[in-house]
Amino acid sequence: MNVKKKGLMTRVLHDGHQPDRETGSRAVPIYQTTSYAFRDCDHAANLFALKEPGYIYTRIMNPTTDVLEKRLASIHEAAGSLATASGMAAIFYSVTSITRAGQNIVSGSNLYGGTHTLFTHTLKRFGIEVRFVDSGDAENFARAIDRDTRLLFTESVGNPRCNIDDLEAIAKIAHAHDLPLIVDNTSTPPPIFNPFEWGADILVYSLTKMIGGHGTSIGGAIVEKGGFGWERGGKYPEITGPDPSYHDLNVWEAMDCEKKEQPDCPIFTLKARIGLLRDTGAALSPMNSFLFLQGLETLPLRAKVHVENALAVARHLETHPLVSWINYAGLPSHPDHERCLKMFPLGCGAVFGFGIKGGLTAGKKFIESVELCSHVANILDARTLVIHPAGTTHQQLSPGEQAEAGVTGDMIRISVGLEDVRDILDDLDQALEKSQKL
Ligand X SMILES: Cc1ncc(COP(=O)(O)O)c(C=O)c1O
Residues that bind ligand X (CB under 6 A): 86-88, 112, 114-115, 155, 159, 184, 186-187, 206, 208, 218, 220, 379
Backbone angles phi, psi at 339, to 5 degrees: -65, -35
Q: How far is the CB of 90 from ligand X (least distance, A)?
A: 8
Q: How far is the CB of 428 from ligand X (least distance, A)?
A: 22
What is the Cβ-side half-sphere exposure of residue 57, based on CA atoms within 13 angstroms?
A: 11
Please, which residue, 114 or 409, has the CB nearer to ligand X?
114
In angstroms, rounded to a whole number, what is the distance separating the alpha carbons of residues 131 and 336?
Answer: 23
In angstroms, rounded to a whole number, what is the distance separating the alpha carbons of residues 135 and 146?
Answer: 17
3-class DSSP assignment, residue 92: helix
Chain Cα centroid distance, residue 230: 22
Please, which residue, 324 or 378, has the CB nearer to ligand X?
378
Q: How far is the CB of 112 from ligand X (least distance, A)?
A: 4
Let me know how long the chain is: 438
Of residues 16, 8, 57, the one with CA closest to residue 35: 57
Q: How far is the CB of 219 from ligand X (least distance, A)?
A: 6
Helix axes 286-318, 63-75, angle to 10 degrees: 40
C-beta of residue 60 within 8 angstroms of C-beta of residue 281: no
Please, which residue, 84 or 369, has the CB nearer to ligand X?
84
Burial letters 113-145, b for 16+ CB under 10 A, else e = bbbbbbbbeebeeeebbbbbbebbebebbbebb
The residue with its CB nearest to ligand X is 87
In angstroms, rounded to a whole number, what is the distance separating the alpha carbons of residues 184 and 90?
Answer: 10
Q: How far is the CB of 17 from ligand X (least distance, A)?
A: 24
The DSSP 8-state label assigned to residue 283 in this structure reads: P
Q: How far is the CB of 269 from ligand X (least distance, A)?
A: 18
Chain Cα centroid distance, residue 326: 24
Please, which residue, 189 or 358, has the CB nearer to ligand X?
189
Please, which residue, 265 or 380, has the CB nearer to ligand X?
380
Please, which residue, 104 or 187, has the CB nearer to ligand X?
187
Please, which residue, 73 or 88, has the CB nearer to ligand X?
88
Q: H/E element holding 96?
A: helix 87-96
Please, which residue, 267 or 299, has the CB nearer to ligand X?
299
Q: How far is the CB of 184 from ligand X (least distance, A)?
A: 5
Q: How far is the CB of 189 from ligand X (least distance, A)?
A: 11
